[in-house]
Each structure stands twice: as C-alpha cells, then as structure tokens.
C-alpha cells in the first residue's frame, strides 16, 4: 500500500543538476533490487530559480549515458515535505544548513547528507552547475550510485536488527 512506502526526497540548491541525478539513480537502483514498489522518490530545490524547468542538459546527458530514465521538472521544497518524507538528503553542507533552518518543529524526516553513505567516504557532492564541462556531472552520477547502494544496505541492516 502506498502509505506503507518509504519516502525519500533528494535536495540540492537548484534541482537541475545534482538532486535529479541522485533521484534518478536511486530510483533505478531500487528498481533493479526489486524494491521499486516500496519507495516513493522525488527531488526538490532549496531555491526557486529553476522551478518548472527540466534538468541541465549535462545532467540529462549523463543520465542518458547510464540508462537512467528521468522526466521530472524542478520544484522547490515546501514545509509539508518535512512531514511527508522519511528521509531528506542534502548534497553538501550548505544544503544541510538550509534544510535545518527550514525544518519545522516536530519534523518527521531524517535530514541526511547523501555522501555519508558513500563506502568510499567522499562526503560532498560538489555543485557542478558553473563548470565549463560535464565531468562534475559524471562524478555526481558515480557518487550517487555508491551512496544509493550504501544507503539501501544501511536500511536493510536497520530492518534486520529490529
């Protein structure tokens, strides 16, 4: 049932570079693990500059290259998200500060740095928006892949210990 689903929201500053990649990769990872029905997944921005826009073409190209389907458009985080979602992931320390500032009292969601689940220990998913090439997008993809698997293993272990 949909209300039993675990809910994960991926956040970055603009919702056109990093969090769409994280969202798409996380969705693909749960699908491949046969857990697609167990998760509701979305992404959103801290800022409102790109609301309604598709991801940056470099993000779309990177996802296409790795066969990650993606068709969402940018939206800004709203207060209700903090009550709706179980997990809200930021990409860098600045995202985490902004999330903490916006979180209402009694916030249900766990606010987590996505990179804390990277088995390689690369904690920050750097903002590639102002880069002159797409290397940072490929790197974001690779980090998102490791972090998605790392986080899902973490959740599995938590479930086993209950």
Residue 106-135 contact track with ligand 4NP, rule CB under 6 A, x = bound: ---------------------x-x------
**Residue 127 is a catalytic residue:** yes
Cα–Cα distance for residue pair 161/55, rounded to 1 Å: 38
Confirm if 53 and 77 have CB atoms less than 8 A apart.
no
User: Where in 38-57 is the site for ligand 4NP (CB under 6 A)?
Assistant: 49
Which distant-in-sequence residues (6+ apart) come within 8 Å of 139 by Cβ? Answer: 126, 128
Token pair in block for residue 146 = 């490791």
Q: Which is nearer to ligand 4NP, 12 or 112 (by Cβ)?
A: 12
18 is catalytic: yes
Least separation in angstroms between CB 91 and ligand 4NP: 7
Catalytic one among 58, 81, 127, 146?
127
137 contacts: CB under 8 Å, gap ≥ 6: 17, 21, 56, 58, 59, 61, 62, 128
| Rounded distance between C-alpha atoms, residue 11 and residue 24, angstroms | 13
The span of 8-16, 29-37, 77-85, 111-119 binding ligand 4NP (CB under 6 A) equals: 8-16
Q: Which helix (H) or strand (E) holds 99?
A: helix 93-102
Determine the Cα–Cα distance for residues 14 and 140; give it in Å rounded to an integer: 15
Stretch that binds ligand 4NP, among 11-19, 25-33, 64-72, 143-151 (CB under 6 A): 11-19
From 17, 18, 81, 92, the catalytic residue: 18
Residue 62 binds ligand 4NP, judged by CB under 6 A: no
For ligand 4NP, which is the closer residue by CB, 8 or 16?
16
Check if 17 is active-site: no
Q: Name the site residues for ligand 4NP (rule: CB under 6 A).
A: 12-18, 49, 127, 129
Supply the residues annotated as catalytic: 12, 18, 127
């Amino acid at each position: 049932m949909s209300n039993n689903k675990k809910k994960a929201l991926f956040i970055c500053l603009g919702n056109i570079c990093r969090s769409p990649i994280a969202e798409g990769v996380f969705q693909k990872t749960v699908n491949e693990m046969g857990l697609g029905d167990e998760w509701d997944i979305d992404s959103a921005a801290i800022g409102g500059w790109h609301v309604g826009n598709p991801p940056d073409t470099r993000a779309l190209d990177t996802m296409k290259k790795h066969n990650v389907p993606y068709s969402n458009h940018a939206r800004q985080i709203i207060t209700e998200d903090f009550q709706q979602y179980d997990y809200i992931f930021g990409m860098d320390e600045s995202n985490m500060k902004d999330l903490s500032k916006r979180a209402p009292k009694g916030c249900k969601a766990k606010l987590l740095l996505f990179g804390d689940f990277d088995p390689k220990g690369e904690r920050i998913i750097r903002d590639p928006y102002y880069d002159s090439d797409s290397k940072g997008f490929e790197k974001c993809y690779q980090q998102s892949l490791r972090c998605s698997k790392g986080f899902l293993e973490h959740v599995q272990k938590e479930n086993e210990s209950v």
